[in-house]
A and B are shown apart, each in its own frame.
Chain A
Amino acid sequence: MSGHSNYVPKTGFERWLDARLPVARLAYDSLIDFPTPKNLNYWYTFGGILALCLGIQLATGIVLAMHYVPHVDYAFASIERIMRDVNYGWLIRYMHSNGASMFFIAVYAHMFRGLYYGSYKAPRELLWILGCVIYLLMMATAFMGYVLPWGQMSFHGAVVITNLFGALPIIGESITTWLWGGFAVDNATLNRFFSLHYLMPFMIAGVVILHVWALHVTGNNNPTGVHVQSKADTVPFHPYYTVKDGFAIAVFMLMFAAFVFFSPNALGHPDNYIPANPLVTPAHIVPEWYFLPFYAILRAVPDKLMGVLLMFGAIAVLFILPWLDTSRVRSLRYRPTTRMYFFIFVVACFVLGFCGGKLPDEHVIPGLKTFQLIDADLNSMVWLSRFATAYYFAYFLIVLPVMGLSEAPLDQPKSISEPVLSPSAALPAGAAASPEKRG
């Protein structure tokens, strides 16, 4: 797609096709001949894993939709019918429900990799933003999918999340009514969620095409962050990366299969096997694990509107990230101070996820009573999530802009091949001694 092509049609048919619709050329250029940096590590295999996840969700989802009944009176029983009476329905349904979790594990690994190696930096800003769009669509799709079984968590989760829009001034109430298709979460809501849950994966697939297209224009980033200089820096995608990605996919599938076959409900909530009842609220409404960090940010703020804005802000900040990071060096390999802040950022994300699953008043260190700080005990989940939220935003809004200007990076290799071919050149003795030289 990036212009130059090494494709040579071999048969008469291929020449005929190539002159009319060069799909074979497209496939050859993007999947076989595509020159890829030869130093990609296993963190770079999550793109392929994600493509597989999307394929699995689409395939299983289309079959599930053949048996599912989107109606408040029948949805729960129809899911159980799939599990009990449809041939291998249990397999299809558990692959789909656990597949959502696997999709998010892979996407989070993919995003942390992008953050670490600076894959969002020029010229890959659009590539990164398209990825953020995919992530946003994934979250909407996963949320609506979780509502479809119409269990207790489905229903009350839908109530909590749709009510968030009610916090917006003036238009909030009209928006929630519009989302619900009525004055409460009910059959109309379930029907539209089913419709949108079926539509959105295809929108994701569309943006994935753009994402891959953008990738093939700029080419892969790599762990050094240094541009490809010559042919010596790259290998053809096939067979080098098809086999490496293939191995990673097989290992990932082992983990996926362990959940599907031996612990299919471990990542869900038991309350979702109770049919939805609007009159009985579960003791503790929690979203699926992949939303917990955002749930913690939402609850960290005492004001509902501010909480909602901050929660959406946590995703919005990713969109402007390419312009927040002021450093000219891509890879955090050569930015030791920022790298330290990055690892704290990863911990903060996990801490937010941990807090999101707990009650806000719960003690972080059990039994230890400290002192009341404004509205809650200091030793409480709500304060822990506040500190983590503050760090989350500070990383993007303070650390990255400031460190990019003030940190003296280590010397980068001149090319990808350099550290490979002459290990001594990769770590010059004077690297730390001459930090004023920016790469």
Chain B
Amino acid sequence: MLRKGLAIAALGLALVGGPALAAGSQKEPRTVAWSFSGPFGKFDRAQLQRGFKVYREVCAACHSMNLMSFRNLGQKGGPFYDPKYPNPNDNPYVKTIAKEYEVSDIDPETGDVVKRPATPADRFPNPYPNEAAARAGNGGALPPDFSTLSKARKGGADYVYSLMTGYGTPPAGLEVPSGQYYNPYMLGDVSAFWKGEGYAPKGGFIAMPPQLTPDKVTFDDDTKSTISQQAKDVAAFMAWASEPKLEERKAFGVGAMIYLTILAGLLYVSYRRIWRNVAH
């Protein structure tokens, strides 16, 4: 009876939970075998470091990461975590990276607005002073903040990877407006611009031109810098930034599942024993 009940519950969720995320015209993202997927998944530290480099050298020119501080890079599970420095603010890598940025501050003596090198406690500086400036610099489009972007899109890291590598020649018959680019993985509706045969292609227009080119970023660990590699690495970095506690969560979860399985087993045995003399 219980198994039947759970099966019904699971069926209900499958029926109801899935379609709740449905609708909209875009191509299903390509799936990548991420090191962090599955119940035992962990981030690949080297990949996170490469991804951070891609973010820093390519994306950060337009995309902010308002919720991230430099210290996050050195915290447990982060790209530059070093067990020698349990307090990420002491981590020399993190300190060096932070120092390369300048942030605004108030001079405590004079009250003037001054610039000073960042410390690990500072947030990643925003490339634009405000939203209007960001739009003005990008033809009216607002480059989204990266802090939670990976979990704010259906498909997560797969989506980021597919979008970054998904640019190509638009299908014949599609009139791409100037300042826009066609991407089959972008959510949108291009039917008003479709002059070809049959249904309009899936996908949408995106204001961001293709960003990644081979060898655009030189990886410090001699990984070959292809477009696909750069896209994978930055998608992994963004997945980490969205869910920095993912490793801790999954490790905790494995323990919790083992504990609950044993508890359920013991309770079942007790149940059989207590009820053994009751006809029911």
A contact residues vs B (CB 8 Å cutoff): 38-39, 41-43, 45, 77, 80-81, 83-84, 90-91, 94, 105, 108-109, 235, 239-240, 243-244, 246-248, 250-251, 253-255, 257-258, 260-262, 264-267, 269-274, 283-284, 286, 288-289, 292, 350, 353-354, 356-359, 362, 417, 420-421
Q: Residues 243-259 of chain B: 1 if any A CB is under 8 Å from the residue's CB, otherwise 0?
A: 01100111011101100
Q: Does B192 contact A (CB under 8 A)?
A: no
A247→B271 contact, CB < 8 A: yes
B12→A350 contact, CB < 8 A: yes
Given A262-B250, A350-B12, the answer on whether A283 and B24 have CB atoms closer than 8 Å is yes
Which of B18, B250, B267 sits near A261, CB closer than 8 Å? B250
B12→A38 contact, CB < 8 A: no
Which of B12, B187, B252, B280 sits near A91, CB closer than 8 Å? B252
Q: CB-CB < 8 A to B19: which residues of A?
A: 354, 357-358
- Give the distance to chain B from A156, nearest Cβ to Cβ, in Å: 14
B267→A247 contact, CB < 8 A: yes
A284→B152 contact, CB < 8 A: no
B16→A292 contact, CB < 8 A: yes
Q: Residues 138-159 of chain B: 1 if any A CB is under 8 Å from the residue's CB, otherwise 0?
A: 0000001001110111101000
Given A39-B280, A42-B2, A43-B5, the answer on whether A250 and B260 have CB atoms closer than 8 Å is yes
A105→B148 contact, CB < 8 A: no
Q: CB-CB < 8 A to A353: which residues of B?
A: 12, 15-16
B24→A284 contact, CB < 8 A: yes
Given A243-B267, A262-B253, the answer on whether A271 and B245 have CB atoms closer than 8 Å is no
Q: Does B270 contact A (CB under 8 A)?
A: yes
Report the interface size for chain B: residues with CB under 8 A from the other chain. 56
Complex A-B: 25 CB contacts under 8 Å = A39-B280, A77-B66, A90-B248, A90-B249, A91-B249, A108-B12, A240-B278, A250-B264, A255-B9, A261-B253, A262-B253, A265-B151, A266-B17, A269-B21, A273-B148, A283-B187, A289-B16, A350-B15, A353-B12, A354-B15, A356-B20, A358-B22, A359-B23, A362-B23, A421-B279
Q: Residues 43-80 of chain B: 1 if any A CB is under 8 Å from the residue's CB, otherwise 0?
A: 00000000000000000000000110000100000000
| Interface class of chain B by DSSP | helix
A-B contact sample (19 more), CB < 8 A, given A247-B264, A258-B253, A262-B250: A91-B249, A91-B252, A109-B9, A239-B274, A254-B261, A255-B6, A261-B254, A261-B257, A267-B17, A270-B21, A270-B152, A273-B149, A288-B20, A289-B13, A292-B16, A350-B12, A357-B16, A358-B23, A359-B23
- Give the distance to chain A from B258, nearest Cβ to Cβ, in Å: 10
- Give the distance to chain B from A385, nearest Cβ to Cβ, in Å: 12
Q: CB-CB < 8 A to A239: which residues of B?
A: 274
Given A262-B39, A273-B151, A357-B20, the answer on whether A235 and B278 have CB atoms closer than 8 Å is yes
Q: Residues 5-40 of chain B: 1 if any A CB is under 8 Å from the residue's CB, otherwise 0?
A: 110010111011111111110000000000000010
Write the chain A residue with the least CB distance to B25.
A283
How far apart sit A218 and B135, CA to CA, in the bound complex (Å)?
Answer: 66
Write the chain A residue with the least CB distance to B9.
A105
Q: CB-CB < 8 A to B153: which residues of A?
A: 270
How far apart sit A249 and B16, CA to CA, in the bound complex (Å)?
Answer: 23
Q: CB-CB < 8 A to A257: which residues of B?
A: 253, 256-257, 260
B contact residues vs A (CB 8 Å cutoff): 1-2, 5-6, 9, 11-13, 15-24, 39, 66-67, 72, 144, 147-149, 151-154, 156, 187, 242, 244-245, 248-250, 252-254, 256-257, 260-261, 263-264, 267-268, 270-271, 274-275, 278-280
Q: CB-CB < 8 A to A84: which residues of B?
A: 67, 72, 244-245
Write the chain B residue with the least CB distance to A84.
B244
Given A80-B67, A270-B21, A273-B148, the answer on whether A247 and B268 have CB atoms closer than 8 Å is yes
The 3 closest A-B pairs by CB, nearest first: A261-B253, A273-B152, A357-B19
How far apart sit A43 and B2, CA to CA, in the bound complex (Å)?
Answer: 7
B274→A240 contact, CB < 8 A: yes
How far apart sit A417 and B278, CA to CA, in the bound complex (Å)?
Answer: 11
Q: CB-CB < 8 A to A255: which residues of B?
A: 6, 9
B252→A261 contact, CB < 8 A: yes
Q: CB-CB < 8 A to B1: which residues of A?
A: 41-43
